[in-house]
């Protein structure tokens, strides 16, 4: 009889794909751990989970996790995830993306996935640049930040990911940092439980590219920056705009109840099939 492994190893393809490719100090592995703990705390069978990604540092995650997985094209994770959810609504579908993957080439997909309110949990690891391909700027790169494609400072305004997707119609939107791990575990669990399109933006250091280019120090200093420059949504509600300037607001930022797309789609199919049956000779 095989020995029972610790619960973490139950969800990892440990004999196939390790060591991983992430740089020392990268926070993506911390996010992966939070996903594992959230799924395990819900008691879900891992064979009922589908993890979908596009291309990028974060999108390497399905290689390591022993769920049903799809490692797809750049920016197209949600297009594939939508197809999976429509084909088998009983699957627990999670899409993991980086900020470039989700909001640049994948920006159209994520807006409309939120608008449709399809039952997918979207985990966006935001490290403010394209980490895998050399540190180019992304839609979340802060103004004045240095990247390989903005060597004299970023002049474009950055997206507020959570505000964008809340406005687009997502049922659940939250922000976490990889420093506040227990908090992130809980937010991801809430997102997984929520019916409809749910989003967790997880802020993560990229010491190799973004941190080095902007002289933010090593990974420890960047983690301390997430700690010192963030406040909870509860605390932020009592702060003035001046006090909030430059602060990261963590926690649940919006939540609503709305019709879910796959349920509406199945209802539409039933109505159409019923109408056809009535007029059939």
Cis status of the peptide bond prior to 247, with omega within 30 of 0? no
Q: Please state the φ and ψ torsions of residue 23, each to the nearest 5 degrees.
A: -70, 155
The structural domain count of the chain equals 1
In a 10 Å sphere around its CB, with 0-12 CB exposed, 13-18 middle and 19+ buried, how is residue 235 labelled?
middle
241 within some domain: yes
**What is the residue-wise DSSP string for 69-136?**
EEE--TT-HHHHHHHHHHH-TTSEEEEEEEHHHHHTTTHHHHHHHHHHT-S-EEEEEE-SSBTTTT-B
- The DSSP bridge partners found for residue 126 are 203
Q: Please state the φ and ψ torsions of residue 78, each to the nearest 5 degrees.
A: -75, -25
Please check the confidence at residue 230 and state whether its pLDDT lies above 80: yes
Distance CA 193, CA 233 (A): 20
2 within some domain: no
Please check the confidence at residue 2 and state whether its pLDDT lies above 70: no
Q: Please state the φ and ψ torsions of residue 46, each to the nearest 5 degrees.
A: -65, -20
64 within some domain: yes
266 within some domain: yes
**Residue 102 confidence (pLDDT):** 95
Q: 171 by DSSP, 3-state: which?
A: coil
pTM for the full model? 0.92
24-55 pLDDT tens trace? 999 999 999 999 999 999 999 999 999 999 99
235-263 pLDDT tens trace? 999 999 999 998 999 999 999 999 999 99
**What is the residue-wise DSSP string for 23-36?**
PTT-SHHHHHHHHH
CATH of the domain at 141: 3.40.50.970
Question: Is there a contact between 258 and 171 (Cβ–Cβ < 8 Å)?
Answer: yes
Q: Is the dihedral of CA 225, 137, 199, 69 positive or negative?
A: negative
Distance CA 205, CA 193 (A): 27
Element (H, E) at 206: none
239 within some domain: yes
167 within some domain: yes
- Residue owning tokens 């049922």: 171
Please check the confidence at residue 14 and state whether its pLDDT lies above 80: no
Q: 275 by DSSP, 3-state: which?
A: helix
3 within some domain: no
Distance CA 234, CA 248 (A): 12
Query: What is the percent of the chain with per-residue pLDDT over 90, rounded to a whole number?
Result: 87
126-149 pLDDT tens trace? 999 998 889 899 999 999 999 999
137 within some domain: yes
Name the average pLDDT for the chain: 92
Residue 22 lies in domain: 8-279
Distance CA 184, CA 200 (A): 9
Q: 254 by DSSP, 3-state: which?
A: strand
């Amino acid at each position: 009889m095989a020995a029972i492994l610790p619960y973490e190893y139950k969800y990892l393809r440990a004999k196939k794909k390790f060591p991983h490719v992430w740089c020392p100090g990268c926070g993506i592995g911390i996010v992966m751990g939070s996903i594992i703990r959230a799924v395990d705390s819900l008691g879900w069978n891992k064979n009922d989970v589908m993890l979908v990604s596009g291309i990028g540092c974060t999108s390497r995650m399905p290689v390591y996790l022993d769920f049903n997985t799809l490692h797809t094209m750049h920016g197209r994770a949600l297009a594939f995830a939508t197809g999976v959810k429509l084909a088998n609504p009983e699957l627990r579908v999670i899409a993991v993306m980086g900020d470039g993957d989700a909001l640049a080439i994948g920006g159209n997909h994520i807006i409309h996935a939120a608008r449709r309110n399809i039952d997918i949990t979207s985990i966006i690891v935001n490290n403010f640049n394209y980490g895998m391909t050399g540190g180019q700027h992304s839609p979340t790169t802060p103004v004045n930040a240095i990247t390989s494609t903005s060597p004299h400072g970023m002049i474009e305004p950055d997206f507020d990911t959570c505000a964008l997707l809340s406005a687009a119609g997502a049922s659940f939107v939250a922000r976490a940092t990889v420093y506040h791990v227990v908090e992130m575990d809980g937010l991801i669990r809430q997102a997984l439980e929520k019916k409809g399109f749910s989003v967790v933006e997880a802020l993560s250091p990229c010491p190799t590219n973004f941190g080095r280019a902007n002289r933010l120090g090593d990974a420890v200093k960047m983690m301390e920056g997430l700690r010192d420059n963030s406040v909870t949504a509860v605390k932020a509600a009592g702060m003035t705009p001046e006090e909030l300037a430059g602060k990261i607001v963590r926690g649940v930022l919006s939540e609503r109840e709305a019709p879910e797309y796959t349920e509406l789609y199945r209802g539409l199919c039933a109505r159409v099939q019923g109408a056809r049956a009535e007029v059939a000779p």
